[in-house]
Amino acid sequence: MSKVEIDELSGTDTTGHEWDGIKELDTPLPRWWLWTFYITIVWAIGYMIAYPAIPLVTTYTKGLLGYSSRAEVAGEIAAAKQAQNKFLEKMSSMSLEDIRSDQELFQFSVAGGKSAYLVNCVQCHGSGAQGAPGYPNLNDDDWIWGGSLEDIHTTLKHGVRHDADDDTRVSEMPAFGEGVLETPQIAATAQFVLKLSGQEHDATLAEQGVPIYAENCASCHGDEGKGDREQGAPNLTDAIWLYGGDGVSIAKQIAKPSHGVMPAWASRLDENTIKQLAVYIHSLGGGE
């Protein structure tokens, strides 16, 4: 192509391409567009020099500014931690009761406790702290080991039946089905426990269960079945059952009880986090 052909009608150069007599015009790019394009090229080169850009075999070009998104995140986390410090320092020397009555610290603890809860506790107690069979519901007002701030704090710190902790909360209901009581006796006791909690029951069997209960169960659960928090013996008269409140579940628990275990969090979480967790759990509505 030696000579550029000019289109007669528009006066514009043609590219020399032709299809069935139709020739392609070589319309120039708008200059603003072209210059924007050049600027982006310059920008890209500058960017590659200033910022991490080219992946190498084991590393990458770091760029003159030394920017790293990872370091940026680390910096943000450090800044957030720094921001929490003034609250954490203040609460570390305060009693749980004082933390709760300080509106600012209360909000901080509920928020911090919630995030710690979502990492450490949801696996058993559920995302809404609603529990599951064998894992207590933390929203309600029934507490095996007590629902005051101190009680919750102790339970969190030392756990339940956590052998490695000397101060852990321990209660061990005997397996009455293994050589202590006969099956009919267990059935009768279960009917009596149903009666205690005001549920439908077989009156005759429940009557038979009275002496069996008095002899075997009252020492821990109390004469009226109200339970004993000192020993971790659940209240049998209320509407809340850890392992189910129907006759069969109760009989099963008498015969061969299940015993849940909760870790002692003192070895895993720092004191301030445990305090926040205690305030958070206490705020869920059942706190005493």
- Per-residue string for binding with other proteins, 50-89, x by CB under 8 A? ----------------------------------------
> Do the bridges between strand 14-19 and strand 22-25 make them parallel or antiparallel, or are there none, so unpaired?
antiparallel
> 145 in helix, strand or coil?
coil
Which residues, in sequence order, are CB contacts of 55 under 8 Å at separation 6+?
none
Residue from the set 80, 239, 248, 261 that interacts with other proteins by CB under 8 A = 239
Note whether 99 and 91 are within 8 A (CB). Answer: yes
Asked if 183 is part of the footprint of other proteins (rule: CB under 8 A), the reply reads: no
Asked if 219 is part of the footprint of other proteins (rule: CB under 8 A), the reply reads: no
Candidate ranges 128-136, 176-184, 200-208, 246-254; the one touching other proteins (CB under 8 A):
128-136
Asked if 273 is part of the footprint of other proteins (rule: CB under 8 A), the reply reads: no
Asked if 13 is part of the footprint of other proteins (rule: CB under 8 A), the reply reads: no
Closest alpha carbon to 232 in 88, 116, 136, 130: 136
Residues 140-169 that bind other proteins (CB under 8 A): 140-142
Asked if 139 is part of the footprint of other proteins (rule: CB under 8 A), the reply reads: yes
User: Exposure pattern of 82-104 as b/e (b: 16+ CB <10 Å)?
Assistant: eeeeebbeebeeeebeebbebee
User: Which three-class secondary structure string do you get for 220-243?
Assistant: HHCCCCCCECCCCECCCCCCCCCC
Q: Total residues at the site for other proteins (CB under 8 A)?
A: 26
| Residues found near other proteins in the complex (CB under 8 A) | 12, 27-28, 31, 100-101, 103, 106, 110, 127-130, 137, 139-142, 235, 238-240, 283-286
